[in-house]
Amino acid sequence: MANTESALKEAMTIEGALGTALVDYASGMALGTLGGGKELDLTVAAAANTDVVRAKVRAMELLGLNDEIEDILITLGSQYHLIRLLKGRNSGGLFLYLALDKARANLAMARLQLRRIEAELEV
């Protein structure tokens, strides 16, 4: 089982990783961040992506969809932003956020690796 720090370090080894965070979407607080920089403020990204998760959960409720969100993908001109909701015990209300350089990343592999990191994460 991985802790937050080791999970974030592992996420940063994903090809094209720019920054990653573990976020509590009830509060919008980042529980841990790694990477980022002046171009990518992970604290701001954590709070803003909390709104994305809440909006999608609300949309599913309004549509009457009885399903779970695995991940949310936001595609920008030069980046991919992945939001992976955690499902393990003691991890409800948390998500992993990963920003990737679109030119260097393999999206399918990044999703698989993030799923594996989530499965090993103990919060």
- What residue ranges do the domains of the chain occupy? 4-120
pLDDT > 90 fraction of the chain, expressed in percent and rounded:
81
Q: Pick 4-120's CATH classification: 3.40.50.1100, 3.40.50.1370, 3.30.450.30, 3.30.420.40.
A: 3.30.450.30
Using the predicted structure, report yes or no on whether residue 49 has a pLDDT greater than 90.
yes
Q: What's this model's pTM, rounded to 2 decimal places?
A: 0.92
Q: Is 78 exposed, middle or buried (0-12, 13-18, 19+ CB in 10 A)?
A: exposed
Q: What is the dihedral sign for C-alpha 113, 82, 72, 117?
A: positive
Task: Identify whether the C-beta of residue 42 lies closer than 8 Å to the C-beta of residue 19.
Answer: yes
